[in-house]
Structure 1
Amino acid sequence: MASTVLASLTVPWISTAHRMDVLRCADPPEGYIVTTAFVLALDGLGRTLLTRVDRPGRGWEVPGGHLDPGETPVGAAARELAEEAGLRVAAERLTLFGGQRITLLDMPPADYRYPRRTFQAFFTVRLPDPGVPTRPDPGSECDAAEWVEPAEVAARCPGAAWQALHAALLG
């Protein structure tokens, strides 16, 4: 499958000139390094699993985070899903759905820790039954996890760059 650009935008958490393309794709874009992995988990009722990050300026999000050294993107997605939401799913059940392709247009600041061309991978998993109550692992940066209806996802995560991916997933 060729990639499809669902949205192009800039985000306030990248301080240098950049472009973020939200892509629907089956493979990471060539020439981009996967730095983070997220999971859009849907249950049998069509609800999405969200987690609340317990840090100033954060809030409700989809589970995900940085790859550990030597970790695969799908492995990181499964690990983050378990840590942040308490949902344990075998990595083989996760499917790459798309992601956020970030291209820096200027030289990054000295303290910028990512390559100039990165990809934030978004995986999906669909559970056949209603999602059971979940709880983040102790020590996680998250303090809550909930299954929420599609309209509630938009209300809890306003302005999230991945909203276009979520909408495409719901069809």
Structure 2
Amino acid sequence: MTARVLDRLTVPWIPLPHTMDVVLTPGTPDGYAVTAAFAVVVDTRGHTLLARVDRPGRGWDVPGGHVADGEAPAEAAARELAEETGYIVDAARLRPFGGQRITLHADPPADYGYPARAYMAFHAVQLAGPGPDTRPAPDSECVAAAWFAPDEVRAHCAGAAWLPLHATLVTTP
């Protein structure tokens, strides 16, 4: 499968030597296991729905999280979107468009919990109107959800590895 690399980096939250490629691709890269799925929801104004996690080192982010055993990535993205923002969308409406391809440079230790070649799949949905008011589920790790213009997304999520993917979906001033 052809993937266009938008960025190549390492991130502090992966404790092993690695490379993360932020890729634009309509599917899962060959040889990679999907471990997390995210939903990037953009409305007709170009605003993106973000969720705020109230934990140290976290903050505003695109909704998403781990893919459960037996769960399809789009189903996981739709589930996480509903839990973290209160916005419900049918998984069939989510279009895979890219992700974060993580390659470890050594075999992971037995207790690591992730494969040596993991993929964090990003899905997009374009709304036909302005984004509605939303609120995270009461038992969610998120405490707020809101719509942000592209420059606000970059400000609230500065340093997020997924920003090059987001830029492919919205017109930036």
Letter in 2 for 1:32: Y
| Percentage of pairs with the same residue | 59
d(CA) in 1 for partners of 2:27, 2:57: 31
Tell me, what secondary structure is at the counterpart of 2:134?
coil
Report the counterpart of residue 166 of structure 1 in structure 2. Answer: 166
When structure 1 is superposed on structure 2, of 104-113 and 92-101 the one drifting more is 104-113
Report the counterpart of residue 130 of structure 1 in structure 2. Answer: 130
What is the deviation of 1:110? 4.2
Report the TM-score when normalising by structure 1: 0.97
1:74-124 CA distance string (max 9 Å, x none): 100110111101010011110001000000002324431100000000000
Q: CA RMSD in A?
A: 1.1
Report the counterpart of residue 68 of structure 1 in structure 2. Answer: 68
d(CA) in 1 for partners of 2:146, 2:79: 18
Q: How many residues align?
A: 171
Gaps of 5+ in 1: none
Letter in 2 for 1:122: F
Report the counterpart of residue 82 of structure 1 in structure 2. Answer: 82
When structure 1 is superposed on structure 2, of 110-119 and 73-82 the one drifting more is 110-119
For residues 20-35 of structure 1, the aligned pairs below 5 Å read 20-35=20-35
For residues 30-109 of structure 1, the aligned pairs below 5 Å read 30-109=30-109
Report the counterpart of residue 5 of structure 1 in structure 2. Answer: 5
For residues 139-158 of structure 1, the aligned pairs below 5 Å read 139-158=139-158
d(CA) in 1 for partners of 2:88, 2:75: 12
Report the TM-score when normalising by structure 2: 0.96
Residues 16 and 109, structure 1, Cα contact 8 Å, conserved in 2: no
d(CA) in 2 for partners of 1:111, 1:136: 32
Gaps of 5+ in 2: none
